[in-house]
Amino acid sequence: MQDRYAGDVGDFGKFGLLRTLCELNAPQLKLGIVWYLVPDESHNEDGKHTRYLNGSPQFRNCDPELYDGLRELLLDDCGKVVSDRQRVTTVEGSCIFRSGTTFFTDPLRYQNGTPAKERLHIRTEWLTRALRATAEADVVFVDPDNGIECQSVSRTAGTGPKYIFWDEIEAFTARGQTVVIYHHLNRVCSSSEQLRRLRQQFNDRMPRNFTILDVVFKRGTRRAYFIAASAKHRDALTHRLSHMLTTPWGSHFIRPV
C-alpha cells in the first residue's frame, strides 16, 4: 500500500469488500488492517483513479455510506481531490470502518545500503509488531503493494516490502484468524492461470480446517482478494461474499472459476 492510493477506485472496492465481510451484517467481525505501507512512488499515474467519486450512481449504489464518506474525506468544495488527504491515516481517522477496527500503519522499508541480515531483522520485528497490533481481530486484512511473493524477489530485496510472504500469512492463520490478502494481478501469465496457481498454493499451505475463497475487483487494474477463512467464520463469509455479488457490487467484482 502507498498513501497516494488512499481512496482511489481500488480502495473503494477494497473497503467495500471488507465492510461487507465484517461490518454490514450481524454478527459483526472485528477487523484488523495491516497496511504493508511503503513509500509513495511517482513513476506512474496510479492513485489518480478517483473519477468514480464524481457522483456516479454505478459506484454509489454499491455502498452509499462508503461512497459519501470517501467523497467527504477526499474532495474539496469544488469536487476536486485534495492530494494531501490521500493518506491511510485519513482513512483511519474517518468513519469508514467502525469503532474497534485496529490498524497497523508502521511503514515497511529498507534504507539503501542496509545489509541483508539487518533487513531481515527489520522485517521480523515489523511483523512481530503487526501481529501484536491485530491480536484481538477476528479477520486480518493484509495489503501488500504488489501482493503475494514471487520467485524473483526476496524478502530482503529493495522491493521486498511490496510483497507478503507465505510464512507471514501463516503467522496469522496459525492463531485461528481469518486472513484476507490483496494480490495485484500481473502480466507474467493470464489472470486465470495466476489465480489457479495461487489457489492451489493456498490450499496446500493453509490449515486443513480453512476454506479458501477468492474474488476479483475488475475496475482499473485487476485486483484479486483471497480469503483464508477459518472454520468459525467460513459459513458467514461464504454467504456474505455470495450475496455481495447479487447486489450492485456484482458489476465490479467477479468470482473466478
pLDDT tens for residues 172-229? 999 999 999 999 887 777 788 889 899 999 999 999 999 999 999 988 788 999 999 9
For the record, the C-alpha cell of 72 comes out as 467527504
Domain with residue 215: its CATH number is: 3.40.50
pLDDT tens for residues 114-126? 999 999 999 999 9
Per-residue confidence band for 48, with pLDDT thresholds at 50, 70 and 90: low
| Any domain includes 74 | no
The pTM for the full model equals 0.91
Where does 23-138 have alpha helices with state H? 57-60, 64-74, 88-92, 116-133
DSSP state of 164: E
**Res 42: pLDDT:** 58
Who wins on pLDDT, 72 or 124? 124
The CA distance from 233 to 176, in Å, is 10
**Res 185: pLDDT:** 86
Residue 36 sits at the vertex; the CA angle it makes with 117 and 153, to the nearest 5 degrees, is 50
| Any domain includes 196 | yes
| Any domain includes 117 | yes
Note down the domain range covering 100: 7-41+96-254
SS3 content of the chain, % helix, strand, coil (to 5): 40, 15, 45
For the record, the C-alpha cell of 183 comes out as 494480490
* Beta bridge partner(s), residue 139: 31, 178
Total domains, the chain? 1
Q: Which amino acid is at 103?
A: F
| Any domain includes 231 | yes
User: With 0-12 CB in 10 A as exposed, 13-18 as middle and 19+ as buried, what is 168?
Assistant: buried
| Any domain includes 242 | yes
Mean pLDDT, rounded, for 155-184: 94
